[in-house]
Homo-oligomer: A and B are copies of this chain.
Amino acid sequence: MLGRVNHIAIAVPDLAAAAAIYRDTLGARVSQAQALPEHGVTVVFVELENTKVELLEPLGADSPIASFLAKNPSGGMHHICYEVEDILKARDQLRQDGARVLGDGQPKIGAHGKPVLFLHPKDFQGTLIELEQV
């Protein structure tokens, strides 16, 4: 079911500072910051050779990463996104195996304009998993 690792997301309290660390200290290629108000985050992409890291800063009052940053004020690894071919088939199979899909189970359009779903971290060793249909 799992294809490529699309990205690893890291929640950060200060996006400009984090982007500077990845660009200047770690010598990686980083994108301009993009505000995604419909997702409650501003994002910078760190482009690696085989995948990417997404640095996420909360945007607006109801950011989905606000509670994570309240618990982890310095930031931290937030989720892993895997690509799948058919997100509805993946969802149904996962549910059949007893895994919990977050929200109402209907794929939303994610930060890359593609359908995504999130899986409950308690069913996956404390790791929040995003599935993205590619």
A126 touches B76 (CB 8 A): yes
Q: State whether A2 and B21 are in contact (beta carbons under 8 Å apart), knowing that A74-B122, A125-B76 are contacts in the complex.
A: no
Residues of B within 8 A of A21 (CB): 123-125
* Interface residues of A, count at CB 8 A: 43
Within the complex, the shortest CB–CB distance from A19 to chain B, in Å, comes to 10
Which of A5-13, A32-40, A58-66, A108-116 contacts its partner?
A5-13
Residues of B within 8 A of A8 (CB): 5, 8, 80
Residues in chain A within 8 A of chain B (CB atoms): 1-5, 8, 10, 12-13, 18, 21-22, 24-28, 48-51, 53, 55, 72, 74-77, 80, 82, 93-94, 97-99, 121-127, 129
